[in-house]
Amino acid sequence: MVLNNNYSIFLIISCFTLLFLSTSAPNSIASTSQSPLQTQCLSFPNVSVTGNSNNENDNSNGGDGPKGLKINVHLSNQNTDNVGPLTIFIITSNGECAIAKINSDPVESVGQENELTFEFDSGIIDVNENFNACVETSNNFDFKCVLGTNSPSKVPEEIFLEVPIENVNSFTN
């Protein structure tokens, strides 16, 4: 009788445990509402973004303080007619991210190169510190990144990114 009683308690506890695990498992997996690159961002420093960005605010603090590193990001237009909106990321080695969104409009971008300039406050990316510059598609989060370094020279860093191809049909007519 004691064995049956212990077995019943074990069975009840096991059922509740399985029920708990099945309802809590989706919450423990990384959210699909954020892209893989967004999950790398730990903080968002004050950054001024200029160029073909459609950001309503540029995250700048509006101050006249000393500015730090400037990064000019050039996007190839080879694939921009194959993709939807794009997001450009600059990710520091400390996980600080500057983000700009671009709406891809093939009519406006034919024969042109999309360019954005990110200007960080001084001290965000130190001299000789590495950073990643990435372009990501908004539809399926395909991305391409390049590694850049803040050189000691006082000129902007030039980064060239190729837009990833998405939804390319392998069938030809």
d(CA 145, CA 62): 29
pLDDT tens-digit series, residues 149-162 = 999 998 999 999 98
pLDDT tens-digit series, residues 129-143 = 999 999 988 878 888
C-alpha angle with apex 42: 41 to 44, nearest 5 degrees? 80
| Domain 38-161: which CATH number of 1.10.1060, 2.60.40, 3.40.50, 1.10.1070 | 2.60.40
d(CA 160, CA 88): 12
pLDDT tens-digit series, residues 84-115 = 788 999 999 999 999 998 865 555 545 445 78
For the chain, domain boundaries: 1-30, 38-161
For residue 140, what pLDDT is reported? 81
* For range 116-130, the mean pLDDT: 93
Using a cut of 0.75, tell me whether the model's pTM lies above it: no
**Range with the largest mean pLDDT of 8-22, 28-42, 104-118, 138-152:** 138-152
